[in-house]
Structure 1
Amino acid sequence: MFWLGFSLGLLVGLALLVGYRVWLELKLKNLLPDLKSDTLRATRSSLSRLLWAIAFQQETCRDLENQVERWKQLLYLAPIGYIQVDEENQLCWCNQQACQLLGIQAPAAARPRLLLEIVRSYELDELIEVTRDAQKPCQREWTFQPTCADPTNLSQQQAIALRGIGIPLTRGEVGVFLENCQEVLILSQQRDRAFSDVAHELKTPLTSIRLVAETLQSRLDPPLRNWVDRLLNEAIRLSDLVQVLLDLSQLEREAGSCLNLKNVNLPELIQSSWLSLEPLARKKQVELDYGGPSKLLIQADEPRLYRVLLNLLDNSIKYSPSGASIQLRVSLEPHPQAPPESTQQWVHLEAIDSGSGFPENAIPHVFERFYRAEPSRSRRYPHPSASSRPDNRSPASDLHPSYGSGLGLAIVRQIIEAHRGTVSASNHPDTGGAWLQVWLPWQPSNLTIDR
């Protein structure tokens, strides 16, 4: 009986062993159907193939780890800052340049901390949140003030201009590239200061030349008087150019503090600016096609907004063919760059002409000072007399570079940004002409709109 029981147990054990081996072989065959290595396919044993696959995967993992380490080393030594946070906004990793820009130390892997505890920059924190919500690269510029633990060194801590580009990563992580724009800002300020200084120096002699020319104008007879008229027109042109440069400098220095805000009826202001340009429009047989409400009150600086409208309309008149119409559209819409949950309405002003439009390579530069996309933009128009100016306002030739100075759209952008708005330029898909879009903030609490 003992041997019988022993034999039966042995047979059962062998049967289980064979069954397990068959089951294991089937599982291995299911796990290894897609192996493409010739070495592994030449191996008959499934177990051997699995061991080869494990070794191959380990080698691949080591190669990937080496590549990640090399890329991390390059990123660490890169001349641009980089930080990476997890889904809870804890700082995971940053490179050497980011540590210098933000005035922090590299985080310890064992003790992750919230980014806002290490870097007191709510703009950076907001950029990370916007990037995570949008799931696309986002960009923002701001002035960063480094914190200092030693109160005796507060005077040595200088604010720097930063540009951040957020990139969404996997598992809710976000990477941010940080660029130091302080040198560019300093060069821009030096350039603007030079323009302002030159404009101030030119203002007095130009005024003297203008006064002398006006005095001689009434004392000379033709043909000598024609030369004085030309001299006076050129002096007026240069004086207007100097005034535009001074206005730009003032807007940059004082931003919104130099604005005298009050309730302004935008459609009425548009009509007034078009009447000022009517002689130019009549000469080219160009008409205004206005679309929008008959009354729309906004908070704005009326003279400066009037200048914006003059520059936009004058720009459209110059580039529209004879007999064409200029489309001017006004509406209330959400800003295209606003968060989806935002309910704020913006005044959307569109100026569309039927001309040849902007060259594609010129669109990013049309709002830069003294930039002209093509020589035809410098053609001149007769200077209207002072008596034809309604409400003692300057005509477009006084405000916009009708003489080809390239400052018209530059001052448009400066005034709109001072109103905390935005302006963009492109070519309209239907007309093919220039498409200038202005967005101004609108508060409905004490303002009205009539359709």
Structure 2
Amino acid sequence: MEETKTIHELEQELAQAKKQVSGLELQLEETIIQLEEARDTIHAIHSGEVDALVIRSEGNTQLYTLKGSDETYRIIIEQMTEGAMTLDREGLVVYSNSRCATMISTSIERVTGQLFRSFVTPTDKALFDRLFAEAWETPVKAEVNVFDAAGKTIPVLLSLNTLILDDGTYLSVIMTDLTLQKETQQLLQEKNIQLEEAQEVARGLNQNLEKTVLDRTRELEISVLQKTLAEKELRSSREQLARILETMIEGVQIVTPDGRLNYANPMAQKLMGITATEGQEYLDPGYPKFKMDGDPLTREEDPVHRVMATGKPVFDFEIGVQPPGKDKFYLSVSAAPLMDENAQVIGSVATFMDVTNRRKVIQQKDEFISVASHELKTPVTSLKASLQLMNEVKDKGNPELVSKLITQANKSLTRLSVLIEDLLNVSKIRGGQLMLNKRAVSIYELVTACCEDLHQEKRFNIRVSGPQKLHVDADPDKLEQVLVNFLNNAMKYAADSKDIEIRITQPDDHVKVSVIDQGMGIAPDKVPHLFDRYFRVDNSGTQYSGLGLGLYISAEIIRKHGGQIGVESTPGAGSTFWFTLPLRH
């Protein structure tokens, strides 16, 4: 039976093999050092950098002086451990030392006069040809395989350099036998294989232990990784939450049970007039707060403290806030309790949303409903009175009075129709159902036609100026509605002025229609809101009839046409309402 070696024996053999390899590597390093020294020596000889050489051998030291004769060089070269040759331009060996002949197991006579290429193996001939060609330009070096006399392949390192002699230029070739180096490498590979086999046996013996260690390591790695990921995710969540809180358009506050501010984001600080200093009283300092009826908001009524007192959330609780020297604004407050693991209230979190615009819209709607009720009631009452009076006089033979009552009833119906039409137009605009029937329209003709319809108001002088051949693609009925609204406003708010001008101009590729009156003008703070829905101008306490929808509808009609609308007004100097439309091309 074949003896089975233990791992210990294999390791001892491997250690001994490593020592042998180390010894061979040291010998190889010494050989390489000797080669480098020999190359340096030859280079110094070629370049004339030395005048003499000291050759040491076992128990003997000889001194050679250089006097220009080839004999001295040959003695030195003959004693080299590397092969040395000289090649001519054809690649013929014109000189070879004995070491070179020994390497390829032949005599110097069989080497000299031969093409060195003939000693190169077929697989490396192309490589040698390239080296031979390049060496005439620059020194080259490479590993090449050559044959010996018995046909054995010998790995050698060739170093080629030009050599200038009296009779011409040659190639100096230094050939270093790499057989020992290659054998050392082979031995090292074999020892590595043995080492790998031994390691494989060890791995087999320790497989269970390694698997256990690996499993435990993986569990630990997974645990550490999970912890790291959790911490990273937590940091990311905190950073994301902080960014969200810092950029929210709603205010966010956290208050402790004793009423102190623990956190306030920038919007909360702005809305409530406080700073983010921890420990500050929630209700003091800050802007005064009021209930919707105008009474001050007490601590007990405040949603934040109410939540902590009851433990129940509060939603959409509206309060008023009065900053010093500024307009009052309104906030919607929602608050919820913060609980610990024992369901005990440890504070409250509240959000604040500015609902001032919402309050204004609600107020405008309330005012509009009141105005609309009044405006609709007036023509209905007038119509009812006319019909009742006609019913009383219909049999009394008074046709003039009946005719007058019918005319008055028709005016009331017309007024009622206009109000209803405005309401319907607003509904269409909000529903996106305002339709346009566009066609080519002459602006001048449209303006003059509107003026003719209004000439019944004899006390106004309406003058039209501007080019007469400007056309637009538009709905003529809708544009007439805008013009009539502008003119009616001029007559209503400039009743003391007799002159109204309609001016047509052409800025760039648009047409501009301006209605100019000489009335009392409009206050600057009212101008930005003229085209808002439900807005009604109240100058000097004077109330005018209307729903406050005419300019809003006009603005939507012009925007639907792709134009712009605006107003310019100076108090006491009149107003100019205008709109622009793209010209028809």
TM-score w.r.t. length of structure 1: 0.42
Relative contact order, higher structure (CA 8 A, sep 6+): 1
- Bigger fraction of residues in helix: 1
- Bigger fraction of residues in strand: 2
TM-score w.r.t. length of structure 2: 0.33
